[in-house]
Structure 1
Amino acid sequence: MRFREIIRDYFTFTRNERIGLTILLFLILVAFAANQLVFYFEKPGKADQEKFKQLLAMLEQKQENERARFRLRGSLFHFNPNTIDSLALDSLQLPFYVKKNLLAYRAKGGRFYADADFRKIYGMNDSVFEAIKPYLQLDKRKPTIYASERKPEQPLSSILEPGVKEPARPAIQPIEINAATAAELKTLYGIGDVLSSRIIKYRDLLGGFSTLEQLHEVYGLKPETIENILPYLKLDTGQVKQINVNFAEPDELARHPYVSWDAAKAIVDFRSGNGFMNDLQAIRLNKLMSEEEFQKIYPYLKTKN
């Protein structure tokens, strides 16, 4: 009997409660029906094709204005990176830091003889280089004529009066380029204060010349001047300063004109992950730099003290 009382107490409604539940159910049904009727009778608005076209034209015009403003910042034109002045360089469409580093490289005596030389500018990336590459106009390097290939000069005796002896010529001692002072370099024909200073600065930047051909990389030193002074120069490669790749930090490596920051970082990262290098060929075999870069920097690197 107790169970029936519990059921009656919880599931039996009074008259007022039954009326309230009925009204509540009615309101729920009305709200549900109204919600469905709104979607049934609502008609979608027609798309205004003209307004859409006008909006599309406005967006296209805005994009064109942005492109025009970008073009006004600079333009691409044919230029020689060895001779372009700062004013013309400023109007060239290149990142500011690339222009700055180009001028700094030239100020240190650097020159560009191949497209790959221009790619090595600090801050240059592949996309910028590919865009600018067709506009590069580089000087063609004249072949160097060494002393053994020079045509003999007309002997003085052939133009002297008969019976007049040719005066004795003073012996000229060749100058060792890696130890020469500015005063010694100025004794060479065509070398003055400015060029002697540039030769020494670039020599110090390299760590010494490994070949006399590198004189072509000295800013302002003309090929014909180099041709004239080569017979009076000698080279001691034993004085070339080498960098130990097993201990050098990226900054030290990247200070060398032949090493880009990316290559310096790649060498140090490879060393950190694989241990000390026993052979410099590891740089080439693991493509830590290009083949051309490796051949140029090879005389300036070492793996042991």
Structure 2
Amino acid sequence: MKSHFTFTKQQRSGIFLLVALIVAVQCVYFFVDFSTEEIESDSRRIAQFRAEIDSLRQVKLINSQPKIYPFNPNYITDYKGYKLGMSNEEIDRLHAFRTTNKWVNSAEEFQRVTKVSDTLLSEISPYFKFPEWVTNPKPKSTYSNSFSADSKPKTFAQKQDLNTASAAQLKRVYGIGEKLSERIVAYRTKYGEFVADAQLQDVYGLSPEVLDRVLNDFTVKTAKPIVKININTATIEQLVTIKYIDYEVANEIIEQRTLREGFKSLDELTKVKDFPVKKSEIIKLYLTIDK
């Protein structure tokens, strides 16, 4: 033990110097202020970085939330309505309204149908996107000869003869422009006078609505007589002379006539294979059902 605590003079001086140095360092650390403006400046920069990181986290959180894109409220599905915050009853009311072939055309009408709250409506209505014809309806042009369902149909005497009408007269009908009016006159010139109003269906470009408006003002008054063919005695050669009936259809008509032991009405022709049903009104003009 004595060997561990016996020091030479030089060793004792070194130990004393080491202890003095330790005490001096402790005193300096305790009494001297090491804070500087540079450290404070770094602290402010760190605070700015932290604030920027927090703001970026907030932006990321907002972007991670589901986005609502413009949509037509008439096509809201159960899942879409749930995501928007609608209840099952509100969604069912909208679906029941749509099953009646009616459309929601405004935010107010949407609320009236679904009975959603004002708060929810204010949140989702800015995203409603309705068709262009609803948001920006075009002003309706007025025509003196326009035909509507409420107007009283003209009598036969009040109508003009379709076989003598000019293109200028036909053009006065709402929906008949210059091309359609000229097309009607060209058809009449090429195939001869109209024998019945149904032949207007052959004119290309005439929609059913426009056709009704034309026939409200025009009808066939002067027409050459039609030589009708008895469907129950006609031969294939006679049937193919009728427009829209070719040899295959004529042969099918003969076979059906044999199986049925004669047609009872011309409407039975629509059941014949490959029969041009859309042109049946025109074909019937040239047929009779006499037995």
Please report the TM-score for the alignment, with normalisation by the length of structure 2: 0.32
Q: Which gives a bigger RCO, structure 1 or 2 (Cα 8 Å, sep 6+)?
A: 1
Please report the TM-score for the alignment, with normalisation by the length of structure 1: 0.31
- Tell me which structure has the larger Cα radius of gyration: 2
